[in-house]
Each structure stands twice: as structure tokens, then as C-alpha cells.
Chains A and B, each alone.
Chain A
Amino acid sequence: MIAIYRKALSFVRRSYVLQMSYKFEFFLRLFFMFFNILTYYFVAKLIGTAGMKYLEPYGGDYFSFVLIGIAFSGYLMVSLRGFSESVRDEQMMGTLEAMLVTPTDASAIITLSTLWSFIFASFRVLLYLVIGVLLGVSLAGANVLAALIILVLTIVCFSSIGILSASFIMIFKRGDPINMLFMSTSELFGGVFFPISVLPAWLQTVSHLLPMTYSLNGMRHALLQGYTLRELTPEIGTLVLFSAILVPLSLLAFRYAVRKAKMEGTLVHY
């Protein structure tokens, strides 16, 4: 257990040094984040109270709603891209083989390789929230503990989807259907930019199949309205259920993918 923690630190240190060797890109990314938030701030101003009917369950303010949406949907993007990109990056850099010949397990290597992306995503979320507060979003009554529980479940759930996606990359190298499926559906049906109640009833069925819907719903209720853990049971319970199915499934898929790539001798092909 201690070894994995120290390995994690070593991966984070490596990624940090690599990231900081491209300082300009790093600061550009941070800088342009502000523009993104400001865009939604003014869109919210334009909308005013027009969407009140749909936004009522989330406190009624569109800017607060969309801020939580874009901030936390970032975790899904990191999960979906992070795992498969770390497989692909290490393949392309040529470092994957050198890592796989060490006693560290392939799943650990891929998981730890994405740690930095999650840390960066968390930093971005924090920055989003700080800017949001400065622009008038109220988090005074937030239930931080509940938000943290939902955050952990969100990361576990989304990471499983990311590992499934990486399994496809391991075998097919490109054209991963998991990534495409979740990327294209989650923003539309997951309630990132608008409440799913806006959608026709039959399309809301699709929303209920996505972990993103429960994750954002729970997060908004916890941060904006201070819901208790008891009140958040439906969201937390569903995320636990998703995790219970997706975690073993993704690990099995990844193990199968590594074995298949080893069988075909394509472990380091890209």
C-alpha cells in the first residue's frame, strides 16, 4: 500500500516536471479558462429568469447551474481522454515498453499515469468555483462532505469508463467507441448546460442511463442547496451502483486487452 502511494508520488512528480517544461502552454490553459467562464456569465445575464421553471430545483440561477456543470464535467473528459491518452502517449514516446518490463503492474502504470490529469482537473474545478464566487455564485450553504463523497464516486465511475476506453485503444489503437459514445452523449444528455427536464420525456430516458446525470445533479444539490446525505441518497446510491458494475468490468476489460496485445505483440504499437 505504501509502495503504491510512493509510486503515485513518483508519477505525479514526473508529470509535473514534464508539464512545467512546457510552462507557456500551462499558463495559456489557465488564462483561457477565464474566457470560458465569462462567456457563460454573460449568457446567464441574457437568460435572466427565463428558464426559472427548469432551474427551480437547482436554486433558480443559470450561472450557478452551468458553472457546476462545466467544472465537474471536466472530470469525465479527463477520465475519458486521460487513460486512453496516457496509453497512447507512452506508446508514442516509446516509454511504455520500458515501464512494462518492471515489476509494476500494467493497470497500475496506466492508472498512475493519469493522476496528474486529475490533479490538474481538480485545480481547475477549484479555480472555477473561486471565480464563480467572485462573480456572485453563493456556496454559503454548501454541504462539502456530501460534495466530496459525490466527487470520489464521480471519479471512480468516470475512471472506469476511461479504463474501458483505454482497453479499446490498447487493441484497436484508434477509433475507441466508448470515448465517442460518452463524449457525444454526456454533454447533451448529462445536464451540463441545461437541466435534463428541458428534454422530451423519451430523451430523458437516455439521460438516466448516464452517470454524469447523477453526478452533476448530486453536486448541484450539495453545493448550491446544501442537501443532506439522506436527501442525496438517490444520486449517491446510483453512482455506487454504476461503480459496482463499471469498476470490475473495466479492470477485466483492461486485463483482457493487455493479454491480447501481448499475444499479438502489439503492446507498444500505435
Chain B
Amino acid sequence: MHRYSGGGIIRETAIETCKLTKTFVVSRGITDLIRRRPSAGGITPVDGVDLLIRKGEVFGILGPNGAGKTTLIKILCTLILPTGGEARVNGFDVEKESGRVRESIGLVTTDERSFYWRLTGRQNLEFFASLHNFFSDDARYMVDELLGIVDLKYAADERFLNYSAGMKQKMAIARGLLNDPAVLFMDEPTRSLDPGAAQGLRDFIKKEIVEERGKTIFISTHNLAEAEELCDQVAIFDDGKIKVIGTPADLKASLGDGSKLSDVFLHHTGKRFEERGGAGVTAPGFRRDRRGLGRGGGFGRRRGGV
């Protein structure tokens, strides 16, 4: 398996965007729709984004809330149509070949509501497997394997509503891997986790998804340590624009010895980066997920079973 190390290895492109732009029109109401009056204004969360991400790379997009990270991911996952520019994922155009794009990607979100809470973990995964055209024995075998990978076999037949926050996040990862995607999108995967669980998830992503399976990962994060720990390349993203791209080490080195990624962010955006969660420590603004922790939470196996 090749990991991109900054040079020497020429590989195919996994994600490519050219002047990708999304402007949301702020409509005045039903009368505007009828009269075809365009808008009362607009916001542009993605503004002329150029990206080139190679296969097997872990690419992090680092930005504050409202920077446009989720919108960018949703465009690349074909859930939102761009207003301008182009984007290709695994060589397929996100607008014209959206079906082919969806066949080759997985999406991991933090929204725990995106599962059926009254179904078991296994039933959930088997249902989503069928949407990827895997049925019967194929689906069962694959789901079983994935449950093993995310270490949830022991809780597979428990209802999803009994899972802790960390287990739900593992399920989201298992679902993202159902179709063995070439590119895995992860939208702030550690957002709702406590520091220990977040570290566990990062270790899991590094070992199981990157090192073992060599997936291309596009990860959006609000966490500097996470970006530094996981990503081969990091893009500082603010106000819908990419301010700078580089390896974490290069970005820090560009500002001189002893600089941190937060200094890079300040330098390129003029804003102080307010972090929500740290790697292993509780950083300012961190909120505990009471449900997850109260039920024996954390990313690892729950004590006492489920």
C-alpha cells in the first residue's frame, strides 16, 4: 500500500474541483417563486474552490463553524448541486454522473439520527446495504465483517437506541464502508465524542481505514490536533474559500520554528481559531455527550453489555 508522502509517487486523482462555487439564494417567499423573482440576496459558503486530492490521501479541511465545510462535502457527495465550477470524484462529474459518484463513495456524518433507532445495528446495516445493491448472503457476510472491523459484533442485535455515542459513530463508519468506497467523506466525525472516545476513533481511522484499507479520506474537522494527527494534507478553509493547502508540517514550518496550526490559521484568515475539542484533553467549548457517557459511552466496548 502506498501512502502519499509529499512527492515521488505519482497516483491518480481521487477528487478534483475547479472554481467550485455554491451560492444559496435567499428567497422572499412563494410569490418570488411564482413571479420568478430571483432573491433577496445570497450567501456563498463555497466560493471558487480548487482542489486536487490524490488516491490514498487523507485530506483534512479545517475551518470554524459556518465556514462551508459541510456544504463542500455535500456537493462532493451529490446531495447539493453546485452553482458554478466543476467537481469530479473518482473521475465522475458530481452533476452529470451523480449515480456513479455515489457508487464509489461513503459518507460518515455525526448525525446519529440518520439511523433507525428502533432497528438493531445489524438490521440498520443490512437495510443500507440493500440500497448499495447488496442482498441476502452477500449483505449478511459484509455486514458481519464490518461489525467485526468496528468491534460491534457483540452489540449487533441490540436496538440502535441503546448504543452509546461512540458506538453510534462506529456504526456510521461501518455504514460508510458498506460499498467498499474508494473515497470516504467524514464530516466532523469526532464532534459528539468525549476526548477519550475521539482519540479512540482517530486511532481506528488511522489503523483500520487508512493503513489497512488505503482509502482516500476527505475529513472536515474543527479540531487542530485531529487535523495534525490524521491528515497528509490540510486546507485552511474560511468564508467559503481555501486560504492555504499543505502538509501540517510544511504549513507550520512556513511561519517559522515553534509555530502551531492555530498560528497558521490566524496568519491566513486573520481570525483566532476557536477549537471545540482537543486530542485527549478537554479544550474550551467542549461539551460532553451525556447520553453516550451515561450509558457507559466512550468509543470502546461498553461495560456490562448493552
* Chain A residues near B (Cβ < 8 Å): 3, 6-7, 10-11, 13-14, 17-18, 21, 93-95, 97-105, 109, 172, 259, 262-265, 267-268
Contact = CB atoms under 8 A, between A and B. Distances in A.
Given A7-B131, A102-B179, 8 more contacts: A10-B126, A98-B128, A99-B128, A99-B131, A103-B103, A105-B99, A263-B81, A268-B79
Given A10-B135, A98-B128, A101-B78, A21 B115 contact: no
B109 A97 contact: yes
B103 A267 contact: no
B114 A97 contact: yes
Contacts of B80: 262-263, 265, 267
B119 A18 contact: yes
A265 B27 CA distance: 13
B145 to A, nearest CB: 19
A262 B107 CA distance: 17
A171 to B, nearest CB: 8
12 contacts: A6-B130, A10-B127, A14-B116, A17-B119, A21-B118, A102-B132, A104-B133, A263-B80, A264-B24, A265-B71, A265-B74, A265-B80
A94 B119 contact: no
B127 A103 contact: no
B218 to A, nearest CB: 13
Contacts of B132: 102-104
A102 B102 contact: yes
A80 B156 CA distance: 36
Nearest to A109: B131
A98 B133 CA distance: 15
A100 B77 CA distance: 9
Contacts of A3: 133, 135
Interface string B51-88: 00000000000000000000100100111110100000
Interface of B: 22, 24-25, 27, 30, 71, 74, 77-81, 83, 99, 102-103, 105, 107, 109, 111, 113-116, 118-119, 123, 126-128, 130-133, 135-136, 175, 179
A100 B79 contact: yes
A129 to B, nearest CB: 32
Contact of A94 (B71, B74, B113, B179): B113
A60 to B, nearest CB: 48
Nearest to B115: A95
Contacts of B24: 264-265
Q: Which 8 A-B pairs have the closest CB atoms?
A: A94-B113, A10-B130, A102-B131, A21-B118, A98-B114, A104-B131, A6-B135, A262-B81
A103 B79 contact: no
A263 B133 CA distance: 27
A14 B117 CA distance: 12
Contacts of A267: 79-80
A99 to B, nearest CB: 6
A17 B121 CA distance: 13
